[in-house]
Amino acid sequence: MSRSEAGMTAAIGEKRGYKLGTHVNAYLKRVWSYRLSYLFIAPFVLCFTAFIFVPVLLAVLLSFTYFNALQPPRFVGWQNYLYLLSQDLIFLKNALPNTIKFVLLVGPGGYIASFILAWLISQLPNYSRTVYALIIYSPSLVAGTAMVAVWAPLLMGDRIGYLNSILLGMGLIDKPVLWVTDPKYLMNAMVAVTLWSSMGVGFLAQLAGVLNVNKELYEAGRIDGVKSRLQEIWHITIPSMKPQMLFSAVMAIVGTFKAGEIGQQLSGTFPTPQYAGHVLMSHIQDYGDVRFEMGYASALSVFLLVMMYAANKLGHKLFGARGDE
């Protein structure tokens, strides 16, 4: 390379460096101009990083290792996932099917019940509306142990249990049913108790959505030929409260997938009888808290996270606005 070419190359390099420095300085000035905004979002960013991003990242990394919480993690590649999808019979025969069944019953069931109750309560006067909303919302505030204490007298597996006593008195059964210890009935009991306690923040969001629908839309609908309440709900109410319905759907999905201890609390055993109430959260607890196989428990957690993400994407498809995706 001649001296002239070398000089030209150096000049081009200096020019590019100058442009890069100018862009960096402009970017730093722009960031500094929004310093107050960054200060306000800093607590959220720090909490999100510390309690969500870092744990999820560590779970993904640990899922590729064998880690017993005593020795350093040992990299095993995809071995945990291969075992999960091919050799873990409890996962394949019990945890996964039970989770899918539980989610399909509790998720849509609780979601639809929340909307129906929210719509019915919205038709009441203000004072009655507040009282009924508090009554329906209050079970979601009950902790797991207290919730079981409420349901234990009803589902007790002898003649003293309220449900057995009523059914025996009506002649519908000839002997007491073990509602929470018989594998045939445990999942049904779990679904009933979880539905009872599922009217939480999602229910309040839907109630707020119904109450905030513009009343002029109903008047315009009547002019355009809307004749029944069902048509009002389908053509006016639901389209007008899609943001609240999306939020409620996300909360229902997350809450349903996270529910895992209710089967253990109802039956009083871990694992539940014949794994009848054994869901993915129970399986994670088994390997993480009992067996201390943290690597495999992390793989289960990642699998659960993928299921929740897929369910959330479905919720966005159904209830999200087109510009939100």
What is the tens place of the pLDDT at every residue in 223-252? Answer: 888 888 888 888 888 888 888 888 888 888
The CATH fold of domain 89-324: MetI-like fold (1.10.3720)
Q: Is the Cβ–Cβ distance between 198 and 114 less than 8 Å?
A: yes
pLDDT class of 92 with cuts at 50, 70, 90: very high
Most confident of 95-104, 173-182, 229-238, 244-253: 95-104
Residue 85's contacts (CB-CB under 8 Å, 6 or more residues apart) are 92
Lowest mean pLDDT among 84-88, 146-150, 193-197: 146-150
Helix/strand/coil (H/E/C) assignment for every residue in the chain = CCHHHHHHHHHHHHHHHHHHHHHHHHHHHHHHHCHHHHHHHHHHHHHHHHHHHHHHHHHHHHCCEECCCCCCCEECCCHHHHHHHHCCHHHHHHHHHHHHHHHHHHHHHHHHHHHHHHHHHHCCCHHHHHHHHHHHHHHHHCCHHHHHHHHHHHHCCCCCCHHHHHHHHHCCCCCCCCCCCCHHHHHHHHHHHHHHCCCCHHHHHHHHHHHCCCHHHHHHHHHCCCCCHHHHHHHHHHHHCHHHHHHHHHHHHHHHHHCCCHHHHHHCCCCCHHHCCCCHHHHHHHHHHHCCCHHHHHHHHHHHHHHHHHHHHHHHHHHCCHHHC
Cβ burial 182-217 (10 Å sphere, 16+ → b, else e):
eeebbbebbbbbbbbbbbbebbbbbbebbeebeeeb
pTM more than 0.85: no
Place of tokens 């694992």: 271
Each residue's pLDDT tens digit, 190-235: 998 888 888 888 889 999 999 998 888 888 888 888 888 888 888 8
pLDDT of residue 116: 92
pLDDT class of 10 with cuts at 50, 70, 90: very low
Neighbour count for residue 150 (Cβ, 10 Å): 13
Could you state, in order of their start, the residue ranges of all structural domains in the chain? 3-75, 89-324
Nearest alpha-carbon partner for 80 in 283, 322, 223: 283
